[in-house]
Structure 1
Amino acid sequence: MYETVVVLSGGMDSAVLLADCVAKGQNCVAISFDYGSKHNASELPMAKAMCDHLGVPHTLVPLPFINELFDSSLLQSGDAVPDGAYDAENMKSTVVPFRNGIMLSIAAGYAESVGARQVVLASHAGDHVIYPDCRPEFNEALGKAIHLGTDGQVAIAFPFARMDKREIGDLGRTLGVDFAATWTCYKGGSAHCGTCGACDERKYALRFDEGLDPTTYLV
């Protein structure tokens, strides 16, 4: 039986969240989703490797219908991922409709099935502008729905909701997270592009300008 289900993408935020939960002594299981994003092939093996390193069981859930039915430049079926700042207007094309609502619902059902009392997600304050399913009002409403839908058995929590990505990076550094073994770039590929909004935000978070970012970028 587990205490916490960690939604783990293979990105830096969820990697720090998993490491933090483990450091706090929580009995965790991680769940990842293959929904057809351009970067799933780059990040999901890293999610599995993180779990192997920390001794945390890992479950991968395929969601092919998202890539087949939904419209987003983040998906393999979508247009090219734009370059630009993370909060730029054109980055809204990377929104995957109701992605977190779908994934958190699945994670909640899984948590109830394995006896876990909570699901945690690493969405943070920097996500709020672009992604409606990362905003506090959404989190609160979905939390109430999951509480009711599981008869009070499962809660969802967003431990980084008031933190920005740099604060998460700093926390991860204190926890010994190997950020070179995490993935952020929305374009996928063998190396981070260095020009998309996600890479731009990663550089800020990991203090690239201070020489602390271990990531290899194409630009």
Structure 2
Amino acid sequence: MSEKVVVIYSGGMDSFTVLHKALKDGKTPYALSFDYGQRHKKELDYAARVCESLGVNHKIVDISAINSLVGGSALTSDIEVPEGHYEEPSMQTTVVPNRNMILLSLATGYAVSLEATKVYYGAHSGDHAIYPDCRPEFVEKMNDVCGIANYTPVEIVTPYLKESKTAILTDGLKMGLDYGQTWTCYNGREHACGKCGACQERLEAFTDNNATDPLTYEV
């Protein structure tokens, strides 16, 4: 049997690409999605459909109770989702305190229970300015911790840590991936808003690749 790995799979385009990269590399992925009370919970439906179509083992874990401790984000609280370019300072309102440390800790525990050797997640360079828990120094320190936190070390793998959203999409298009199977918008409405920072960054990546986004947008 091929090497087992855990993939933190949100249902967005980054983790969608990471999941397929793990498959392409011959791994046996165990996809792990989290309901942390995000308003764009719709992404979990996308994740479930993709995993079902691929025959990938998939768990969705409800950890929404953490919002009694780590609220104050536009993704989880009654705060308006900011619009405009992804790198604008207003995007800091979308930070969920300590989110990736929490998710990586749970994913590492899952990996140990599966006797898996690695946990994959889709941090990339476009996140560095906004999300501290997507920065190289965070990944490096988490890797150190996950190497000693259990009897069996687990490696944190971030294939696109130093790559842009455009580069991730380029790689995915080369693999022939259908990004109509992903959800990026921070609003969980019927169609993607096209205005929030996540939508804007996604649309820019498609423009940079001279490709058309298969999702339907409100604008």
Provide the TM-score with structure 2 as the length reference. 0.95
**Once superposed, what is the RMSD of the aligned Cα atoms?**
1.5
Q: Any unmatched runs of 5+ in structure 1? A: none
Count of residue correspondences: 217
Q: Any unmatched runs of 5+ in structure 2? A: none
- Aligned partners of 1:107 and 1:114: how far apart in 2? 10
Equivalent position of 1:4 in the other structure: 5
* 2:17–2:172 contact (8 Å) kept in structure 1: yes
- Aligned partners of 1:169 and 1:137: how far apart in 2? 24
Deviation string, structure 1 residues 102-138 (Cα, Å, up to 9, x no partner) = 0000000000001100001011011000000101111
- Aligned partners of 2:78 and 2:137: how far apart in 1? 28
| Aligned pairs (5 A) from 1:1-219 | 3-40=4-41, 42-69=42-69, 70-75=71-76, 77-207=77-207, 210-219=210-219
Counterpart residue identity of residue 155, structure 2: A
Provide the TM-score with structure 1 as the length reference. 0.95
CA shift, 1:209, in A, is 8.3
- Aligned partners of 2:107 and 2:209: how far apart in 1? 37
CA shift, 1:151, in A, is 2.9
Counterpart residue identity of residue 29, structure 2: C
* 1:37–1:67 contact (8 Å) kept in structure 2: no
- Aligned partners of 1:203 and 1:112: how far apart in 2? 37
- Secondary structure of the equivalent of 1:159? coil
Deviation string, structure 1 residues 74-102 (Cα, Å, up to 9, x no partner) = 11x33010101100010100000010000
CA shift, 1:68, in A, is 3.1
- Aligned partners of 2:211 and 2:169: how far apart in 1? 14
- Aligned partners of 2:185 and 2:162: how far apart in 1? 23
Q: Which runs of 4+ in 1 moved over 4 A?
A: none
- Secondary structure of the equivalent of 2:87? coil
* 2:119–2:157 contact (8 Å) kept in structure 1: yes
